[in-house]
Amino acid sequence: MAVLVLAEHDNKSLKAATLNTIAAAIKLSGDVDVLVAGEGCAEVAARVAALQGVKRVLVVDNAAYGDQAAEPLAKLVVSLAANYSHLLGPSSSYGKNTMPRVAALLDVAQISDIVGVVSEDTFVRPIYAGNALATVVSSDAKKVITVRSTAFDPVADGASAAVENAAAADAAKKSDLVGRELTKSERPELGAAKVVVSGGRGLGSGESFKSIMEPLADKLGAAIGASRAAVDAGFVSNDCQVGQTGKIVAPQLYIAVGMSGAIQHLAGMKDSKVIVAINKDPDAPIFQVADYGLVADLFEAVPQLTASL
Between 36 and 75, how does the x/- string for binding to other proteins read (CB under 8 A)? ---------------------------------xxx--x-
> How do 84-90 and 274-279 pair as beta strands?
unpaired
Nearer to other proteins, 160 or 238 (CB): 238
Site for other proteins in 254-273 (CB under 8 A): 263, 270, 273
Q: In this structure, are residues 203 and 216 in contact, taking their beta carbons and an 8 Å threshold? A: no
Nearer to other proteins, 84 or 287 (CB): 287
Separation in Å, CA 201 to CA 163, 226, 228, 236, 292: 48, 9, 9, 11, 20
Strand, helix or coil for residue 231? helix
Nearer to other proteins, 29 or 92 (CB): 92
Return the range that interacts with other proteins (CB under 8 A); candidates 30-38, 58-66, 100-108, 209-217.
100-108
- Binds other proteins by CB under 8 A, chosen from 29, 92, 150, 198: 92
- Shortest distance (Å) from residue 201 CB to other proteins: 15
Q: In this structure, are residues 229 and 250 in contact, taking their beta carbons and an 8 Å threshold? A: no
Return the range that interacts with other proteins (CB under 8 A); candidates 21-29, 42-50, 159-167, 229-237.
229-237
Counting contacts by CB under 8 A, is residue 218 touching other proteins? no
Q: In this structure, are residues 269 and 250 in contact, taking their beta carbons and an 8 Å threshold? A: yes
Using CB under 8 A, count the residues that bind other proteins. 87
Give how far the C-alpha of residue 5 lies from the chain's centroid of Cα atoms, to the nearest Å.
15
DSSP 52-71: TT--EEEEEE-GGGTT--HH
> Per DSSP, what are the bridge partners of residue 295?
279
- Shortest distance (Å) from residue 199 CB to other proteins: 17
Site for other proteins in 270-289 (CB under 8 A): 270, 273-276, 282, 287-289
| Cα(266)–Cα(271) distance, integer angstroms | 9
Counting contacts by CB under 8 A, is residue 235 touching other proteins? no
- Binds other proteins by CB under 8 A, chosen from 133, 156, 159, 162: 133
Counting contacts by CB under 8 A, is residue 132 touching other proteins? yes
Nearer to other proteins, 53 or 251 (CB): 251
Nearer to other proteins, 168 or 294 (CB): 294
Nearer to other proteins, 137 or 159 (CB): 137
Backbone phi, then psi, for 86, in 5-degree steps?
-135, 140
Other beta carbons less than 10 A from residue 160's beta carbon: 11
> Per DSSP, what are the bridge partners of residue 169?
none
Q: In this structure, are residues 258 and 286 in contact, taking their beta carbons and an 8 Å threshold? A: no
Gyration radius from the chain CA atoms: 20
For 234-286, the three-class secondary structure string (H helix, E strand, C coil) is CCCCHHHEECCCCECCCCCEEEEECCCCCHHHHCCCCCCCEEEEEECCCCCHH
Specify the DSSP class assigned to residue 83: G
Site for other proteins in 137-196 (CB under 8 A): 137-140, 174-183, 191, 195
Nearer to other proteins, 48 or 267 (CB): 267
- Binds other proteins by CB under 8 A, chosen from 2, 46, 50, 105: 105
